[in-house]
A and B are shown apart, each in its own frame.
Chain A
Amino acid sequence: MKINQSDKTQVIGFSVFAGILLCWFLYAGSTGWRLFNTDGTKQPWSSSGPGYHK
């Protein structure tokens, strides 16, 4: 397969894109981040109030 200058640009561009995805994948894998997760909603306080625990 002949690889010309335009192809080299493609290789570099696609490699950068793939590299970004790779970093994202690594980060998600190591932090337990489930991509585009819709299973739960987070709110930073307890809607039940502190007295409700147990």
Chain B
Amino acid sequence: MAVYQFNTNSVDCPVCKSSTQFRSTSANLKVCGICNTAMERLEGGGLAKILALQVFKSEAPFGILQIGTQGVFSKRSFEIIGCLHCDFDDYFSNRYTILWPDATTGLLVETLGFYSMYEKITSDFPSRLPTVKNVPVGTELIEILLGKQFTVFDKSRCNKVFLEGEVFSLDTDGAFSTIELGQLNGDRLELVELDKSFYELYQLTYVGLFELSLTNLHKIDNNKKALLCAKCGKRITILLPQQSQHCVCSNCNSWNEIIQGKELKSNKKNFADYNFDIPVGTKGTINGIEYQVTGAVVKNEVGSADVFWREYTLYDVLTGYAFLAEYNGHWSFLKEVKLNCPWPAHKEEIYFDNEHYVLFNNYSSKITSAAGEFFTSLNTADIIAREYVSPPEMYVAENAGGKDITWYKASHINNNTVFEGMGLIDKTMPTQHGVGPLQLMKFHINLALLFRMCGIIGLVFLGMQVFFEFNAKQEILYQNTFNIPDSLLSRGLTTLSFEIKQASSNLQFLMSAPVDNNWLQLSASLVNDRTGAEYNFEKGVEYYHGYTEGENWTEGERDAEVVLSSLPAGMYHLNIFPSTQSGLAEIQFSVTVVSDVPMWRNFFIILLMVALYPLVVWWRTQTFEKKRWNNSAYNPYQKDSE
């Protein structure tokens, strides 16, 4: 990172002349420890000049990081030696200069609770860097690294900085622009444009604070500040004076802009009074993180007179901002995520982590009521939001008037979890109506998983049935054709004995008779020769044909079968009592007895039983999903029924 050549680390303050030691060989800005002058050391021998930058003056650091905080990144230890606290158009960002063991410097940046390590890189196309600011946000691509196309996600302008400690910065007047770029499933970059048309390109690595093994952190006590409403003069307590840029007076509901955390400026807009279920200032635990509610708004979908929902801004010093949203009594928890995904302008479905998310809503909103404080503007009319759901999760893309694209990940949260977590057990929860966009069905079942399992199990059963099919002996135990005069029919007949050899087997009885416009009924008993146990069955065949109204017709079959199951081994015979239409001289029929025949019926019954549960679940899910999608303009079920 070093671009300067300094001969010595000892510099004399240009105001008080006291000697100041730079710890880094590359840092160029420092606040004099004696007279608090912001100075820039000059290349050469120990000289410095006065800077027009404001010096950071606060009783406490902005966050938990402070000068002296130590940590480890990529197995290298570092220490924070200074910070540029940057006041951007829409947010506040802290750019910490860190000192590596070799006395060179690095950059650790915190913006709204997101922390990233910055590594300076060189563009393969430096001549393109001045054109990046002309690339529209979220739509077009630009190649600034060889073979890598980047989307612009955010364009911001820093108007003022506050210097603290010892810092490396090419910007010495506090005004610069940043452009954040992302490559789909790849790098995240920041291009810094200094006013001298000088460009710096950084590769960003987003890190969780816990990953940095930080020590000597600042213990957050109470940074809140009391400011006076610019409209009614009533005292407003600002919980996060360093982060919040806007607030609403609890007395007159007027919108105030927070100027550098010190004073309020009226925005000449008043919001409607509203009694929020979770009061601003409430502290509680959601998803294991201790949050404080710092703001609450009621939003109304533009163009819809009856769609209102509530959003609560939560803040935690370690993890930054998060949100709770409540619509029709259904809650969801949202957190910004750094996705390098372009603005999904016309996409009705997207994929993240192999999950399929479907467009649920596309809207703009306006704020009708507000309380507390906010890090962004309360004018949301130019923000377009697109929501993609895969319950219980959702991705929300917000396009702020083509200035920046922000992605949020939302997940359903139980209303009991919200109220218990926020310590509001005694409060009445908002009544639930319909099905929430991210709500899971009671006794939710993962249908895709269930169907996949059902398919696998079905294949296993099919394999086993095929095995049974090939191994079935299908042994003919008895076969005979009978010609019986009508006069002997009533006496019945008895067959010779035949033997079932298997310990247990089924028996198939096939009967066939050449009936012609006639019928034959057999009442039979299979009798065990030894035990006398009987298995009775009846079966008939009938076959009719004719010519009616110019057409030949037939009805019935000349063959029939009966299967008896699980017969024990032994000698058996059949007693058969045939009957037929009277008046025939003789009847003819044949009987075949086969043992150990394959039973496909068993396979289909079992298959039906396996499929029954997934089918019931599918039906329940369909009913539930139809109710969910009733609230969406992209209702796929409506399309089906049209």
Contacts and interface: CB of A to CB of B under 8 A. Distances in A.
B606 A25 contact: yes
Interface in B551-571: 562-567
Given A10-B445, A32-B506, A22 B453 contact: no
B526 A40 contact: yes
Contacts, number: 138
A42 B531 CA distance: 13
Interface in A15-35: 15, 17-18, 21-22, 24-26, 28-35
Interface residues of A, number: 40
A3 B449 contact: yes
B464 interface: yes
Contact of B449 (A1, A26, A41, A44): A1
A31 B506 CA distance: 8
B94 to A, nearest CB: 35
B573 A44 contact: no
A10 B503 CA distance: 38
B566 A17 contact: no
B446 A54 contact: no
Interface in B289-332: none
Interface in B583-601: 595-596, 599, 601
A48 B529 CA distance: 12
B461 A37 contact: no
Contacts of A41: 535-537
Interface residues of B, number: 56
B580 interface: no
A37 B504 contact: no
Interface of B, secondary structure class, is mixed
Contacts of A30: 504
Interface string B136-148: 0000000000000
A11 B526 CA distance: 45
A24 B606 contact: yes
Contact of B602 (A2, A25, A40, A45): A25
Given A1-B354, A17-B613, A18-B457, A32 B505 contact: yes
B460 interface: yes
Nearest to A7: B446
Contact of B527 (A10, A36, A46): A46
Interface in B447-482: 448-450, 453-454, 457, 460-461, 464-465, 468
Contact of A32 (B460, B533, B565, B606): B565
B564 A39 contact: yes
A34 B595 CA distance: 13
Interface centre among A11, A25, A54 (most CB of B within 10 A): A25
B453 A26 contact: no
A42 B535 contact: yes
Interface in B512-569: 525-527, 529, 531-537, 562-567
Contacts of B535: 40-42
Contacts of B609: 21
A54 to B, nearest CB: 5
B494 interface: yes
Contacts of B505: 31-32
B537 A40 contact: yes
Interface of B: 353-355, 444-446, 448-450, 453-454, 457, 460-461, 464-465, 468, 494, 496-497, 502-507, 525-527, 529, 531-537, 562-567, 573, 575, 595-596, 599, 601-603, 605-606, 609-610, 613
Given A11-B449, A40-B564, 7 more contacts: A14-B450, A25-B603, A26-B464, A33-B506, A35-B605, A41-B537, A43-B533
Q: What 7 A-B pairs have minimum CB-CB distances, sorted nearest first?
A: A32-B506, A34-B565, A46-B532, A40-B537, A31-B504, A32-B505, A33-B566
Interface of A: 1-3, 6-7, 10-11, 14-15, 17-18, 21-22, 24-26, 28-37, 39-48, 50, 52-54
